[in-house]
Chains A and B, each alone.
Chain A
Amino acid sequence: MAENKSKNLLEVKDLEVSFFTYAGEVKAVRSISYELKPGEVMGIVGESGSGKSVSSYALMGIIPEPGKVIGGNIIFDGKDITNLSEKERLKMRGKDIGMIFQDPMTSLNPVFTVGNQINESLKKHTNLNKEERTARIIELFRLVGINQPEKRMNQYPHEFSGGMRQRVMIAMALACNPKLLIADEPTTALDVTIQAQIVELLKELKTKINMGIIFITHDLGVIADICDKVAVMYAGNIIETGSIDEIFYEPKHPYTWGLLRSMPKLNAEEHERLVPIEGNPVDLINPPKGCAFAPRCKHCMKICLEKKPPAYNISSGHDALCWLPIKDEYEKEVKNNGKSE
């Protein structure tokens, strides 16, 4: 177990994804790096257009046209999967990496029964015979909490409610015991009471099956509930990454501050005014020269507009892409030097 813990399931290094459109190159993901261990849940938060979904599509090799991975490496389970052929990808997709999509209403095929759709991936990736596959589907339905699995597996998607369809999607993603599960906004389209059911289910599965989960969402509340560590994305960069407590209690990047402050607190006794992040998200065709967040940042300095900040290591596992902590550090040093001399 200890050995298993130290080995990374997934390593993403300097990944870059661009979309080549008529208007120009849209740099959707601009050099991101992260690691994930088995049994760990990493949350990726960010606004729409920040590149959080695209970066996970790159792992599956399903970036839609005209997008391309233009740089970096993805190492999954010790193997470089960045430039796999489509044939090799097909072997891996659904088997080693499972994915849950955002919209349960449109991600299932309406003309096949749900059992049939799960059967498809079992048929492709396992050596089970027909009876064993049926037994596996029933087992999966029990696992994700669908009652009367024998009857339900022969029904069509329209006979399921939104929450139930999302459970079918999860069952499908788990069918071949993947090592990595990518959940792309799995609860955004659902109501809060159903969201709570799905989040509880994923938490239970995480401990049961010891798989790595990448959980993409824009809801910080869900992140706080389920994740071990968080990466905050803005304009194609991971601007801050750290353990869940570090991000929520000691955030270092002004964008993370802004995100945390712009949400109303349910337990607030007095009426507090919200603190929004002024301005609008950046145009990724012509990203600014310096820090992408600089035009909206209250702490913007001259250097922020001119030079892209490096990743600054605050403590082990906690990094921020910002000049501000570097400046603080520098000032501290100058002060100390002044004293000692």
Chain B
Amino acid sequence: MGSQNNENLIEIKNLKKYFPIKSGFKTSNVKAVDDVSLFIKKGETLGLVGESGCGKTTLGRTILRLHEPSGGQILYNGTDITKANMHPLRRKMQIIFQDPYASLDPRMTVGDIVGEPLDIHKMFQNKKDRQEKIYSLLETVGLNREHANRFPHEFSGGQRQRIGIARALAVEPEFIVCDEPVSALDVSIQAQIVNMLEDLQAEKGFTYLFIAHDLSIVKHISNRIGVMYLGHLVELTESKELYRNPLHPYTQTLLSAIPIADPKTSRSKNRIVLEGDIPSPLNPPSGCPFRTRCPHATERCAQERPELKEYGSGHFAACHNIKQ
């Protein structure tokens, strides 16, 4: 976990991302991200969890404007970048992708993959300087200089993810979106990558948005965690507090659904098993998005969408049934 101060690096206000779906004359919207507001402090790691299809990846990409937002505002270091030219900003904001097999061009050597961002932003004096920079990046992520001349298919999943990280580090960014960087990796390799991300943060003061569906990894790496459900942010608080005192019923079920690698605890645990599946974002339920699966749902939940309210310092949740 990085050291933090109180400056906000990223602030988003009522961010929306809708994907239009055309069927005949009718156009409907998939509300992938609907009205999400949050901030990320300098040097902190904000975790984002939720089931597949809840919009966590879309949110991460919309913040980088890899998707154009349908509404709302994105502030970077206090300036509005919702409409700004992104080219100079790409140097500050980078992304590490989920699938280390699909996110590297199979026809480029590792040296060229890591060097491409340097070319785009013209960050070297001469060829030798470029080469040196590539070597030092590879060494930063625990690879050798010899690897620069090889192709991605010669590497294992964990090593490929290291290449993806080196590419993100090439432009010396401040903010990195880590989009499920370890979910495609084996347990023993996961720990290597997570430790490396932590070391890099301590050394270079990065700010991370860490997206994953594995709550135990997110809890391990994050200072604060946001829980998303069907395009909405339903709870946001410090990671320890989220584990100790989850307020939203969805967070409670999510925590209880995680299998714990300890047979004794797992035998004694009372698990809340949710009924049914996540509803289609094309036709979300009225009112609270979670009410169709919520054990505590009332009349009011169907009519009114709960706002994100603060309960205790820095602990936000969106639910009608939380006792104050």
Chain A interface (Cβ < 8 Å from any Cβ of B): 47-48, 161, 163-164, 191-197, 199-200, 218-225, 244-245, 248, 258-260, 262-269, 271, 273-278, 280-281
Contacts and interface: CB of A to CB of B under 8 A. Distances in A.
A277 B243 contact: no
A87 to B, nearest CB: 39
Contacts of B188: 47, 258-259, 262, 276-277
A146 to B, nearest CB: 11
B192 A278 contact: yes
Given A264-B219, A269-B240, A193 B263 contact: no
B195 interface: yes
A273 B187 contact: no
A274 B190 CA distance: 10
A278 B261 CA distance: 21
Contacts of A161: 277-278
B260 A221 contact: yes
Given A199-B259, A224-B259, A225-B259, A193 B274 contact: yes
A197 B191 contact: no
Interface residues of B, number: 44
A75 B219 CA distance: 45
Interface stretch (B36-44, B133-141, B210-218, B315-323): B210-218
A274 B187 CA distance: 11
A262 B187 contact: yes
Given A48-B186, A280-B158, A200 B273 contact: yes
Contacts, number: 124
B154 interface: no
Contacts of B190: 262, 276
Interface in B221-268: 240, 243, 253-266
B266 A224 contact: yes
A223 B259 CA distance: 9
B198, B261, B266, B277 interface centre (most CB from chain A within 10 Å) = B261
B187 A220 contact: yes
Contacts of B191: 262-263, 274-277
Contact of A191 (B213, B219, B259): B213
Contacts of A48: 157, 186
Given A200-B273, A263-B261, A276-B191, 19 more contacts: A47-B189, A192-B259, A193-B51, A193-B254, A193-B274, A197-B274, A219-B259, A221-B261, A224-B262, A258-B188, A263-B187, A264-B216, A266-B219, A266-B260, A267-B243, A268-B220, A271-B220, A277-B188, A280-B159
B303 to A, nearest CB: 25
A275 B194 CA distance: 10
Contact of A263 (B156, B159, B216, B253): B216
Interface in B197-215: 198, 213, 215
Contacts of A274: 191, 194-195, 220
B308 interface: no
A330 to B, nearest CB: 29
Nearest to A275: B191
Nearest to A163: B277
A260 B260 CA distance: 11
A76 B191 CA distance: 39
Contacts of B157: 48
B143 to A, nearest CB: 12
Nearest to B50: A191
B199 to A, nearest CB: 10
What are the 4 tightest A-B residue pairs by CB atom distance, in nearest-first order? A221-B259, A276-B191, A264-B220, A262-B191
Contacts of A194: 51, 277
B188, B190, B258 interface centre (most CB from chain A within 10 Å) = B188
A219 B260 CA distance: 10
B271 interface: yes
A120 B260 CA distance: 38
Contacts of A258: 188
Interface in B248-307: 253-266, 271, 273-274, 277-278
Contact of A47 (B186, B261, B277): B186
A224 B261 contact: yes
Contacts of B271: 196, 200
A225 B266 contact: yes
Contacts of B52: 191
Contacts of B266: 221, 224-225
A273 B195 contact: yes
Contacts of A278: 192
Interface in B48-99: 51-52
Given A191-B51, A192-B51, A196-B257, A266 B243 contact: yes
